[in-house]
């Protein structure tokens, strides 16, 4: 039920994203989803890729600071209010969303949202009990 995500810490300067994506491309790594959060001095690029361990290794070999985090991929009804429905369930259970981002693939007429929670196991259980679909990492990596 969990999805592995890598986080890369980047200096906030021109060309750093090109460097990361070039290194991954040369290593045959396909990016499935991404988000970038930045501050004045640095950014955190979060990626879901088709081969997490290989990507992490290649990036480290090329001097990047890389971490691995577990997130979940949640099916969301692709209609107005679909995300609000999920967030109400999360709020009712007093769960904290650390961050989330959209995934550029539809799955069975549903959107996919990547969530990072501070209590991952409790969040998975809560969403499953509410009938919300959670996608396996293997499926996400293969899209």
Q: How many domains does the chain divide into?
A: 2
Q: How does strand 2-11 pair with strand 42-49?
A: antiparallel
State the number of CA atoms in the 13 A half-sphere of 90 facing the CB: 23
Does residue 80 share a domain with residue 57? no
> Above pLDDT 90, what percent of the chain?
80
Among the listed ranges 12-21, 37-46, 84-93, 101-110, which one has the minimum average pLDDT value?
Answer: 101-110
> What residue numbers bound the domain in which 114 lies?
72-142
Last residue of a domain, one of 38, 70, 102: 70
For residue 31, give the CATH number of its domain. Answer: 3.30.2130.10
Phi, psi (deg, nearest 5) at residue 3: -120, 135
pLDDT in tens, 84-125: 999 999 999 999 999 999 876 666 778 899 999 999 999 999
Does residue 77 share a domain with residue 59? no
> 41 falls in which pLDDT band (50, 70, 90)?
confident
Does residue 56 share a domain with residue 108? no
- For residue 101, the 8-state DSSP code is E
């Amino acid at each position: 039920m969990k999805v592995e995500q890598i986080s890369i810490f980047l200096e906030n300067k021109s060309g750093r994203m090109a460097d990361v994506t070039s290194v991954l491309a040369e290593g045959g790594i396909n990016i499935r989803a991404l988000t970038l959060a930045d501050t004045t001095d640095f950014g955190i690029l979060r990626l879901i890729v088709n081969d997490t361990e290989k990507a992490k290794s290649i990036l480290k070999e090329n001097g990047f600071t890389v971490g691995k985090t577990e997130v979940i991929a949640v099916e969301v009804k692709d209609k107005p209010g679909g995300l609000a429905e999920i967030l109400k369930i999360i709020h009712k259970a007093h769960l904290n969303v650390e961050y989330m981002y959209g995934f550029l693939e539809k799955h069975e007429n549903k959107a996919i949202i990547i969530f990072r929670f501070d209590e991952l196991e409790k969040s998975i259980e809560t969403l499953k009990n509410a009938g919300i679909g959670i996608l396996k990492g293997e499926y996400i990596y293969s899209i």
